[in-house]
Every structure is written in C-alpha cells, then in structure tokens.
Amino acid sequence: MNVTIVDYNSGNISSVINSFKEVAKDKVNIEVTSDLSTIKTSDKVVLPGQGSFKSCIDGLNSINGLIETLNEFALESKKPLLGICVGLQMFADIGYEEVETKGLGWISGKVSKIDNQDGKFKLPHIGWNEINIMKDSKIFKDIEDKSHMYFVHSYEFVPEDKSVISATTDYSSNVVCAAEKENIFGTQFHPEKSDKIGLKIINNFISL
C-alpha cells in the first residue's frame, strides 16, 4: 500500500513525515512528493498545512495540475484523504486569513478567526487541549473521549453542515477540531505532535 504525503512548500512537514514513517514501519510505503502521477496512483493521501490559509492555497496553485489531481483523488476516486491543520481548513469554500481566499470547496463552510473575546483567549491557540468526540469515526477508533491533542492555530473551520463535525475542542467556543465527509478526513490538531494518541490516529488512517 502507498500513502502519499503531499509536499507543496507549506512549511516544515518533517514531523508529519517522521510520524507516518514511524507508524508505517515496513508495512506501508510512505511517499513524500508533489508528483501528480504518484498522487493519482496512491491508496491514501495526506495533505499537511502549515502557515496561513492563503499561503497554503497559493502553494497548491503553484504546482500545475495539483488541485485538479487532488479533486480527482478525493471527489471522483473517493480514496481516503487526511488533511492536517491548514490541510483541514482548505476543505472549506473560503478562508479569511490575510485576504479572502477561495478554498478547495470539498466541505461547505468558511475559515474565520477564532473569537478571542477581546483578548480573554490568547491567539494563536497553542498547546494541549482536550477534544470532545462527537460521532463514531474510524480515525478515532480506540481513542477515548476527552483525550488531549496538540494545537497551533488562530483560525477555525466553520462547516455549514454540522453533521460533518467529528470532534470539537473548547477554546473561546466549541471549535471544530476534526471533520469528515465520506472518504475525506481532517484534523485541526496535529496528530504528529500529539504523542501516542496522535500516532494511534495516524495508524487508524493508514488502516482504513
């Protein structure tokens, strides 16, 4: 089986690569590439995202044909795809970080700044926070509700259809921290930085 981590210049993704390789060991082939044919023929794809919504979308657009290839993989072939941090946010129709930027439009919704309640909550939201698992999800298999995950973000994904929300975290309000729609999964937290529980989530995705 091949799992491809998409490399599109979205900041340092070495911890994502290392965590997937640690979980996969020799059982699964982990590729890190922006090569379109490799992505197309993969069994699963991971879309990491570090930096701003705009910089990540610009990164995808900078590689000719990449967005079309990801659309084909996720929407037509319906193969499993995991978005991490801004990787999840890009599923939305639109993001408002820096400037209004069009997203991938895979899960209807928007990405807006977390309401810090006039400075009561620090932004970015950095550190460990407990998650509330909202529904039975394959990527949360054998993960306990109220587990702690590692976050670094100032913006939140606000989906139109609340049924896609698989977990929230309480920071100023109920912030969506995991969403899924059919074969498309995303986490706002960083599983690759969330210790053994995060590795379990990575393993659950690889095992889909």
Q: What is the pLDDT of residues 73-95, one digit of tens each?
A: 999 999 999 999 999 999 999 99
Helix (H) or strand (E) holding 20, with range, is: helix 14-24
What share of the chain has pLDDT > 90, as a percent?
95
Q: What is the pLDDT of residue 11?
A: 80
Active site residue 182: no
pLDDT at 26 over 90: no
Superfamily name and number for 2-206:
Class I glutamine amidotransferase (GATase) domain (3.40.50.880)
Mean pLDDT of the chain: 97
Q: What is the pLDDT of residue 143?
A: 98
For 11-40, letters b (16+ CB in 10 Å) and e give: eebeebbebbeebbeeebebbbebebebbe
Q: What is the pLDDT of residues 31-49, one digit of tens each?
A: 999 999 999 999 999 999 9
Tokens of 186: 């995303």
Active site residue 85: yes
Which residue out of 31, 85, 97, 156 is catalytically annotated? 85
Give CA separation, 127 vs 68, 133, 142, 153, in Å.
34, 18, 23, 10
10 band by pLDDT with thresholds 50, 70 and 90: confident
Q: What is the pLDDT of residues 111-142, one digit of tens each?
A: 999 999 988 999 999 999 999 999 999 999 99
